[in-house]
Structure 1
C-alpha cells in the first residue's frame, strides 16, 4: 500500500505537473503548517496558562530573531537568483544549506547567552533553550526544501510536512495536556523538530545531496562570496523579524509576565499564519525577477493579478481574525485570557497590513531594490520602538497592539513609494492600502461605541 502511494507520488512529480497543480500542493502544505501551528499554539496557551505561555512567547521571539540572523537572507537571495539564472540552482541550494548550518551554531550560542542573562528561573531557562534549539533545527531543515520549491516538486514537501507536523501536534499536545509542565512541553517540541529535520533530509536527499553540500562547505572562498552577495537580504530579513517581535522585547521592561502572556496569545496567533503568506509571495519571486531581468512587458499584467490576490487575502485575513479571535478566546483560551477581547480589532488591522507588506516587499526584491527595503524597515523599526516606549507605560498592551498595526500600514505605504520608482501605475496599490486602512478604522470605531 505504501509502495503504491509512493509510486503515485513519484508519478505525479515525474509528470512535471502544471503550475496550477504546484500551487495547489503549496497551498495544501501551507494549510498543514498553519493548522499544525495553530493546534499546538492553542494547546500550549490553554494548558500552560498565561505566565508559562508568556515564557514560551519570549522563547519564540528570541529564536525567531536568531533563526533569521542565521538564515542570512539566503531564502530570498536563492529564489531571486534561481529566477534569473536557473542553471545555478543546485550550486546555490547546496551552498545555502552549508552556510545555514555553519551560521546556526554561533547564533544559537548567542541566544543561549541572552537566555542566561534574561532572569528566567531554572526550569524556564531550560524550556526556553530547548525551544530555541528546536526552532533552529526547524529552520535548518526548511532550507533543504528550497530546491524542491524552485523545481516545482512541492508534493515532496507536502508529504513530509503532513507526517512530521502530525508528530509535532501529537507530542506537544500530549505533553501539555498530561503534564501541564513547561519543561516537558518544550522537550516534546524539540523532539518533534528533530523528526521534522530527519524527514526533510530524507525527502530532499536526491536534490541536496550532503556530499555536494560538504564539498561546497570546504570551498570557503565560494561560501564567503555567497554570504557577501546575500548580506543585504540578511539585513532585510533580520529587520523584518525584529519589527514583528519588537513589541514583546520592549514590553519586558514595562509589563508583567502574565500581561505579556495574554498579549502573546493574541499577537502570535495572528502572526502564526504570516510566514505562509511570505512563502506564497515568494513563489512569484523567480518569475517576477525573470520578467524584470528580461524587461518583459507582461509584467504589468502579472503585478495587477498579484496585487489583487494579496489585497483579497488581506481582507480575508482581517475577517478571519475578527471572527476567529473571539471564538478562540471563548472556547479555547478560557477566562484567563478575557482581556484579549479588547485587542482583536487591532490585531486584525495588524495582520491585514502585514499581508500587504508581503506583496509589496516581494516586488521590491524583484526590482532588486533591496536597499530601499532596508531603509524602509530600518526607519519604521526605529519609529515603532519610540512609539512603544512612549505608549506602553500609559496604555499597556492595548496601546502596543495599535502601535504595531499603525507600524504595519506605515511600512506598506513607504513600500508603495519605493515601488513607484519602477512602476508607472502604483494607483491600484494605493487604493487597496487606503481601503484596508479605512476598513480597520471603521470597524474600530464601531467596536468602541
Structure 2
C-alpha cells in the first residue's frame, strides 16, 4: 500500500507541476505560440522514446526478474540512451535548421527539444527506483525537482520573457533533474558504479531490446499522433487550442503509465511462478485500470470543460466540442494499458506491436477522414477508434495465452516465453 501511495504522490507531483507550467505557458504565449511549443514537445518526446529504445519497460521487467544484475542492467540502459540521445540532438538540430519555421524560433525550438531529450535520461534512471521498490526516494527527488521546474518556468512565463528565455529555463531545469536522477540511481546498487561501455556492448544491448523500443514508440504514437499531425493539418492557432485540451488528457495518461510501472514487476513475478494464467492479482489490476478509465472519462467529459475555460481563458473557448471524444479515447487506452501490462509481463512485445500498428493505422486513416468532414473536432474520435482497435487485439491475445494456461487455473500451463 505504501508503494502505491508513494508512487501516486510522485505521479501527482509531476502531473501537477507539468499542468501548472503548461497553464502559465499557454496563458502567457497564447494559442498560436503555444501551438508551436506543444508541437516541438510532441516531436521531441517521440524522438526521446526512440533513444530510450524500450529500456523503460525492459529494465522494469529484467531488474525485477534478476535483481542481482540490477546495476549492470541499468548501466547498459543508460549507455545506450546517452549514445542515441547525442545522435538525436545532432540530427534534430539539423532538421530544425532546415525546416520552415516562424522567424526567430529556431534556437528556442532546439533548446526545448534538447530539454525533453535530456529530461528523458532522468526518467529512465527513475526506472531503477521503481524496479527496486525505492518509491520514497523517488517521491522526494520528484518533489523538489518539480518544484524547482515550476518556479523557473513559471517566473519566465509570468514575466513574458519570450521563447528564447523559456528554452533556456527548460533546458537548465531538465538537465539538473537528469543529473540528480542518474546519480541517485547509481547509489541503489551497492558496489556497482555506472561506467561508459564500449560501443560493441551498446550495440549488443540495442539488438536485445529492439522489440521493446518499437513497442514503446508505437505506444506513444497511438496516444500522440494527433499532437504530431494537428500542426501540419490545421493552423498553429487551432493546434494550440487542441493541445490545450490534449494536455489534460496526457496528464491522465501519466497516472496510467506510472500505475503500469508499479504492476509490471509484480505481475512478472506472478506469471513467472504460475505461468500465463489469469491470476487474481492480474484480474484486480485490470479492474483498477478500468476504474481509472471510467473516472477519467467522466472527468474529461463533465469537469474539464469549465475548468480549462477558467484556467486558460476565452482564447481557448473553441476546445469545448473536443471533450466527449477525449473521454472515450482515455477510457479505451486506460483499459488497454492494463492488458498491456500483462503482455509485457508474459514477455511477448511482438503482440503489443501488432496491436499498436493496427490501432495506429486506424487512427491515421480516421484523422484524414474526419479532417474533411468535421475538422479538428473529429480528431479525438479518430483517436478513440484507434484505441478501441488496440484494446481489442490486446484482449484477444491475452485470452489466448490464458486458455493455453487453463484460463483461471494452472492446468496445462505453458511457458511464458512461447
TM over 0.5: yes
Residue 249 (structure 2) pairs with residue 236 (structure 1): no
Question: Is 1:375 paired with 2:354?
Answer: yes
Report the Cα distance in structure 2 between the residues aligned to 1:125 and 1:353, rounded to whole angstroms: 37
* Pairing 1:16-415 to 2, within 5 Å after superposition: 20-179=1-160, 181-207=162-188, 212-215=193-196, 217-218=197-198, 220-295=199-274, 300-415=279-394
1:123 is displaced (CA, Å) by 2.6
Q: Does the CA-based 8 Å contact 1:147-1:208 persist in structure 2?
A: no
Task: Determine if contact 1:419/1:426 at 8 Å carries over to the other structure.
Answer: no
Shift of 1:287: 2.0
Structure 2 unpaired stretches of 5+: 409-418
Once residues 211 and 341 of structure 2 are traced to their aligned partners in structure 1, the CA distance between those partners, rounded to angstroms, is 14
CA deviation digits over 1:25-69, x for unaligned, max 9?
111101101110111111111111000000011111111111100
C-alpha deviation, 1:103, in angstroms? 1.1
2:35 and 2:243 in contact (8 A); partners too: yes
Distance 1:252 1:314 in 2: 28
Contact 2:35–2:231, Cα closer than 8 Å, also in 1: no
Query: Equivalent residue for 1:437?
Result: none
Aligned counterpart, 1:416: 395
Distance, in Å, in 1 between the alignment partners of 2:381 and 2:166 is 32
Three-state SS of the structure 1 residue aligned to 2:187 is coil
Inter-partner Cα distance in structure 2 for 1:146 and 1:344: 32
- Counterpart CA distance in 2 for 1:379 and 1:298 is 26
Contact 2:186 2:193 in 1 (8 A): no
Asked if structure 2 preserves the Cα contact closer than 8 Å seen for 1:329 and 1:341, the reply is: no
The whole-number CA distance in structure 2 between the counterparts of 1:383 and 1:330 is 31
**Contact 1:254–1:393 (CA<8 Å) still a contact in 2?**
no
**Greater CA deviation, 228-237 or 124-133?**
124-133
The question of whether the paired residues in 2 share the 8 Å contact of 1:288 and 1:366 is answered with: yes
Whole-Å Cα distance in 2 between the matches of residues 386 and 103 of structure 1? 31
Is the deviation greater in 392-401 or in 203-212?
203-212
Structure 1 unpaired stretches of 5+: 1-19, 428-449
1:58-96 Cα shifts (integer Å, max 9, x gaps): 111111111100000001111112232222212101111
Preserved CA contact (<8 Å) 2:70 2:189? no
Alignment of 1:423-438 (within 5 A): 423-424=402-403
> What TM-score comes out, normalization by structure 2 length?
0.91
Q: Could you tell me how far apart the structure 2 residues matched to 1:204 and 1:387 are?
A: 42
Asked if the contact 2:322/2:378 (under 8 Å) is kept, the reply is no
Q: Which TM-score applies when normalising by structure 1?
A: 0.85
Conserved 8 A contact 2:58-2:212: yes
Match of 1:430 in 2: none
